[in-house]
Amino acid sequence: MRIGELARRAGTTPRALRFYEEQGLLPAERSANGYREYDEDDLRLVTEIQTLRTVGFTLEDTRPFVDCLRDGHETGDACPASVEVYRRKLAEVEDCLRRLGAVRSALLDKLAEASARPETCRLEPAITEEPQ
């Protein structure tokens, strides 16, 4: 299949596919007339990249998964390098959740302190709803 069909089937753009090729993630065979030619395995690679990008992986994070698929494995996470990326990304998410938990706790403390004070302000509260 040509680049336009691959892009359509994968739900992306030819530009994105050319970028993946430039990054070494998507190999392209060339026909005699110079057109890029792809097969079902390439569709699997692009789908894997898109799935991982959807859950927050960088393009570089997808490389071990793509390499694993290109090596003939049924799934992109069958290789140790892919599993290690999962572990690293999970650690990043857990760290982010810890930091957000600390922010949440600080906000709850501030709200509790503010709510415990007697009301002395005579300013009208800001309108937080958008007009209809």
Q: What is the 3-state secondary structure (H, E, C) of 26-85?
A: CCCEECCCCCEECCHHHHHHHHHHHHHHHCCCCCHHHHHHHHHHHCCCCCCCCCHHHHHH
pTM of the model: 0.77
* pLDDT single digits (tens) 100-124: 999 999 999 999 999 998 887 878 7
Domain ranges within the chain, ordered by starting residue = 3-116
Looking at domain 3-116, its CATH class is mainly alpha
What pLDDT score does 91 carry?
Answer: 97
Does the pLDDT of residue 12 top 70, yes or no?
Answer: yes
What pLDDT score does 90 carry?
Answer: 96
48 and 65 Cβ atoms separated by less than 8 Å: yes
Amino acid at site 56: G
Distance between CA atoms of residues 119 and 77, nearest Å: 57
User: Rounded mean pLDDT of 31-48?
Assistant: 93
* pLDDT single digits (tens) 43-96: 999 999 999 999 999 999 999 999 999 999 999 999 999 999 999 999 999 999
- Strand-pair category, 29-30 with 36-37: antiparallel
What pLDDT score does 120 carry?
Answer: 79
What pLDDT score does 17 carry?
Answer: 96
